Amino acid sequence: MTLVGAALAALATTWVLYGQVLPFSGTVGFVVAAYVVFMLFYAGLTALTRPWAVVVDRLMTTIVVAAPAIVGLALADMILTTVLKGLEVLVHPNFYTHDMSGVRPTDPYDMGGILHAIVGTLIEVAISVSIALPLGVIAAVYMSEVGGRGARVVRTVVEAMTALPSIVAGLFIYSVLIIRLHMQPSGLAASLALAVMGLPIMARASDVVLRVVPGGLREASYALGAGRWQTVWRVVLPTARPGLATALILGIARMVGETSPLLLTSGATNFMNTNPLHNPMTSLPLYVFTAVKSGEPTFETRGYAAATVLLFLVLILFLLARFVAKQRSPR
């Protein structure tokens, strides 16, 4: 009752003050002002009948509820605007089946597409994951299951390198492979940059998951006469499987969306290129970036459509992670 009354009073007062009396304008200002006025009314009305502690409690509750509401609205707004802006391109099936070769940025939307970028992203991420994932998981096994002084050193260094900004990983690969070794900008260079960035992240995430496997399970396994390898393979890894899968898929999702290392290493192209060893290979985030930087309105819209596809790719990975995490290990 108090809540509704305060809300109504706040809206009315703000409307009068804001639009009619004070020389302000703009939606942001209106919402902020309405919120402040609402808090005042709510506090005042509560204070009429309740003790001070309740007033404070209710005020804090409005703040605590407002924070996730703002974030939720922002997230929904972001997804909606991106999808809506890209919609006029997304409805053309050629957007998914063509590349941009021979298509000018100003051409209509029924020409050209982002197949080359989708394929590029998939190839680059596949290569980098096939490098970073096994190395990361095995390094995590070393850190948490084998132990010893060496493992502590590895853990320290890996934890330190999770701080490596992705652009620096890209710059590293750029200056070593492309400048020193005279490699072309290519899909492989981009994959290596992603792998270098993702390896510490994956090793760290797997290590955290393996460490919470209960020690009692390991001891039980040893007590039954199992060796180190059998314990890791038959007990530790199956127990940690759902958590491990979730951590790794989230790591992959982060690699899919990473742009800055690709900017330095892969080179941009309009053509379909399925060979990671030769010639530049573009990818979805890079396509979005070039499209937006071009300043050409129609090309920008294509960028939004590509961003939508990228969002869906990440969403699919995320749902996959949820699905895997839900499954229990077989025994």
Partner 1 sequence: MAAEPTQALAVVPEPGRATPPNTVRPLADRLEGGVAPVPRRIVARHSRQDRVFLEGVRAVGLLVLVIVGSIGLFLGLQAKPTLSHYGWRFFTESRWLPSQDIIGIRAVLVGTVEVAACALVIAFPLAFFTALFITDWAPARLRAALIRAVDLMAAVPSIVFGLWVLFYIQPHAAEIAHWLSKYFGWIPIFKVHTDVDYPIWNQSPGYAAYAGSAFIASIAVAAMVFPMATSVMREVFGEAPAGEKEAALALGATRWAMVRTVVIPFGRSGVIGGTMLALGRALGETISVLLIINQAFQVKVNVLESGTSTISALIATNYAEATPAQLSALLTCGFVLFCMTLLVNTVAAQVVKRSRSGQGTEL
Residues numbered 242-271 forming contacts with partner 1, rule: CB under 8 A: 250, 253-254, 256-260, 263-264
Distance in Å, CB of 82 to partner 1, minimum: 6
Point out which span in 1-9, 14-22, 98-106, 138-146 binds partner 1 (CB under 8 A). Answer: 138-146
Distance in Å, CB of 292 to partner 1, minimum: 6
19 vs 102, beta carbon nearer partner 1:
19
Distance in Å, CB of 43 to partner 1, minimum: 13
Among 1, 21, 26, 182, binds partner 1 (CB under 8 A): 26
CA 203 vs CA 131, 222, 244, 259: distances in Å: 12, 25, 10, 21
Tell me: does residue 21 bind partner 1 (CB under 8 A): no
Tell me: does residue 120 bind partner 1 (CB under 8 A): no
Distance in Å, CB of 93 to partner 1, minimum: 23
Among 5, 12, 77, 130, binds partner 1 (CB under 8 A): 77
119 vs 288, beta carbon nearer partner 1:
288
Tell me: does residue 36 bind partner 1 (CB under 8 A): no
Point out which span in 20-28, 36-44, 109-117, 268-276 binds partner 1 (CB under 8 A). Answer: 20-28
Tell me: does residue 3 bind partner 1 (CB under 8 A): no
